[in-house]
Structure 1
């Protein structure tokens, strides 16, 4: 049955992509991201990371990897393009390839700059911009790495001015507001759920699994709900 055992399922109806990840597989990509940043880049707990990516399974791996290493994350997706970023430099940036050219003037300065093509199966990024490193190629050698050993403290910053403890409370509140509970399988429209608090953190905090749909074809919605055993549908336009 499609989705059986998957924690995170990603669809792109424009390309026909379907990528399903179990908890172990998503955890492996997240641990590899953390290792790339800590072992590969030499970053430590409290480092600041800017993520300029749309909702996507690779974005989930980047965010979870950065958070698991105790980094402070600032996030902007496609809909917020054109907004000026924080003026302070960060330690690492992750930028979507198709936006890299138009966003170069807006990306915070960083010692380590990664680009993602968001290709199916995490394939290498075509035409990597100058001064950027290809995230899929750079992270693969770290697949199989153990998760970070140092626990993240509740008082450490998760996002700007918000600690991990506070962020967890907000996520739990969002899940409760939308009736998301343990064992739920939640379908979200990426176009209506840009902030990771909604499409990633709240469902995971509630013990639910995720079906994230980009370029959602509404005519396929009923069939997808049935095929993926979805129990909650959120932010569908």
Structure 2
């Protein structure tokens, strides 16, 4: 089993970078965003370049990611792992922090060298008013390069994350080429909504604020083969 999340991501898009890898729905706003493997890889590369070139972090450094399941969260997490960072899960001192605009109070519990805020708006629109002490992730990341060569060795906890994700994919019977429908309210852990499908080389339809009445039709429209229970 691979111990490098960047390699797992690269393998997941290698066969067909143009296929929809992650399709995002938010039933509270009506948003639908579809990202091919190539498009998501572009966002991941820009994020990793932001971290390395602007924040000057790399292997051995630590990030905090205070974000809900979202396609931009996928880009941030995969960018952090590509740059060799460890993603912390308990408040403390970190080198860089990414936080949703709705979680500013929670961000105060962390001490971070650099702080980025994400509005998570449709179409990745930049923020009109950026909170003091933060930079707007969307505005900053767009200026960085579209290609990044991930570090060969993953962070110290990546093998554990991938082992958990592989076990989850096996538990749910997710296989290569499956299209998985995931309710983020039921599965908020990125091991479940992001890494488990990637380890199985599956694609994802990710639904936030899911309206149960829409899911059967969505599953048909999106050609879902594997809705999570």
Q: TM-score, normalised by structure 2?
A: 0.88
Deviation string for 1:200-230 (max 9, x for gaps)? 0010010000110011111111110000000
Q: In the alignment, is residue 117 of structure 1 matched against residue 119 of structure 2? A: yes
RMSD: 1.4
Which runs of structure 2 are paired with 1:143-222 in the superposition (5 Å)?
143-144=145-146, 146-153=147-154, 156-157=155-156, 163-222=157-216
Task: Return the offset for 1:176.
Answer: 0.3
* Conserved? CA contact 1:186–1:203, under 8 Å: yes
Residue 86 of structure 1 corresponds to which residue in structure 2?
Answer: 91
Structure 2 alignment gaps of length 5 or more: 1-17
Moved more, 164-173 or 191-200: 164-173
Q: TM-score, normalised by structure 1?
A: 0.86
Residue 40 of structure 2 corresponds to which residue in structure 1?
Answer: 26
Deviation string for 1:152-207 (max 9, x for gaps)? 24xx32xxxxx322322221111000000100000111111111000000100100
Mapped to 2, the partners of 1:177 and 1:149 lie a distance apart of 29
Mapped to 2, the partners of 1:48 and 1:97 lie a distance apart of 21
Residue 65 of structure 2 corresponds to which residue in structure 1?
Answer: 51
Residue 101 of structure 2 corresponds to which residue in structure 1?
Answer: 97
* Conserved? CA contact 2:99–2:107, under 8 Å: no
Residue 88 of structure 2 corresponds to which residue in structure 1?
Answer: 74
Change (3 A) 1:122 1:13: same
Mapped to 2, the partners of 1:48 and 1:37 lie a distance apart of 11
Mapped to 2, the partners of 1:172 and 1:150 lie a distance apart of 22
Q: Secondary structure at the match of 1:142?
A: coil
Structure 1 alignment gaps of length 5 or more: 76-84, 158-162
Mapped to 2, the partners of 1:208 and 1:230 lie a distance apart of 11
Moved more, 32-41 or 226-235: 226-235
Q: In the alignment, is residue 225 of structure 1 matched against residue 226 of structure 2? A: no
Mapped to 2, the partners of 1:70 and 1:172 lie a distance apart of 20
Task: Return the offset for 1:149.
Answer: 4.6
* Conserved? CA contact 1:118–1:125, under 8 Å: no
Q: Secondary structure at the match of 1:141?
A: coil
Q: Deviating runs (4+, > 3 A) in structure 1?
A: none
Q: Secondary structure at the match of 2:63?
A: strand
